[in-house]
């Protein structure tokens, strides 16, 4: 059973994911491509953490969040396997953009990463609301 505080936390985290999408868009428009890629990744990570909140799960480490997400949502068939690839690829792109010496992120790369982040966040939000709705119907 999903508890009210879990629903509140999940929705809060999803709103933070959408804020990060907006930040990535602004950074992209400002030609800050590396930073846009970083915000796109954090949007994905926050959306994954939103889903995990519904199950009372979280991790302080990014790799832990990804592992929990894959175990509880991808392997369970709640999210498509492409979601696993998107989050894993986004993590690598973000690390390269933030820490890679001489790494130049192009506008196309930043746009592609933002598009994937929007797709991931949308699918995660749809699932989140469906899970909440399903529980409400189950207990009404």
Cβ atoms of 11 and 131 closer than 8 Å: no
Mean residue pLDDT of the chain comes to: 96
Q: Which residues contact 102 (CB under 8 A, 6 or more apart)?
A: none
Q: pLDDT tens-digit profile of 57-81?
A: 999 999 999 999 999 999 999 999 9
pLDDT of residue 140: 43
Share of the chain above pLDDT 90, in %: 95
- Reported for 14-18, long-range contacts at CB under 8 A and 24+ positions apart, including other chains, are 14/46, 14/47, 14/50, 14/121, 14/124, 14/125, 14/128, 16/46, 17/43, 17/44, 17/46, 17/47, 17/50, 17/121, 17/124, 17/125, 18/43, 18/121, 18/125
| pLDDT tens for each residue of 113-136 | 999 999 999 999 999 999 999 988
Residue with tokens 């949308």: 122
Average pLDDT, stretch 2-27?
Answer: 98
Domain borders along the chain are 4-138
Pick 4-138's CATH classification: 2.40.10.220, 1.20.120.330, 1.10.10.10, 3.40.50.1100: 1.20.120.330
Give the model's pLDDT for residue 136: 80
User: Of all helices (H) and strands (E), which one includes residue 33?
Assistant: helix 33-54
Chain position carrying tokens 């598009």:
115
Residue 43: burial class (beta carbons within 10 Å; 0-12, 13-18, 19+): buried
């Amino acid at each position: 059973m999903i508890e009210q505080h879990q629903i509140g936390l999940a929705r809060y985290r999803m709103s933070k994911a959408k804020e990060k999408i907006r930040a990535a868009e602004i950074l992209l428009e400002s030609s800050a491509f590396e930073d846009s890629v970083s915000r796109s990744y954090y949007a994905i990570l926050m959306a994954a953490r939103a889903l995990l909140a519904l199950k009372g799960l979280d991790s302080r480490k990014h790799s832990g969040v990804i592992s929990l997400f894959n175990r509880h949502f991808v392997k369970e068939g709640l999210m498509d396997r492409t979601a696993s690839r998107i989050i894993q690829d986004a993590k690598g792109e973000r690390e390269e953009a933030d820490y890679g010496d001489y790494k130049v992120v192009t506008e196309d790369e930043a746009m592609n990463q933002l598009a994937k982040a929007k797709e991931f966040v949308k699918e995660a939000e749809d699932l989140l609301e469906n899970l909440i709705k399903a529980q409400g119907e189950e207990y009404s």
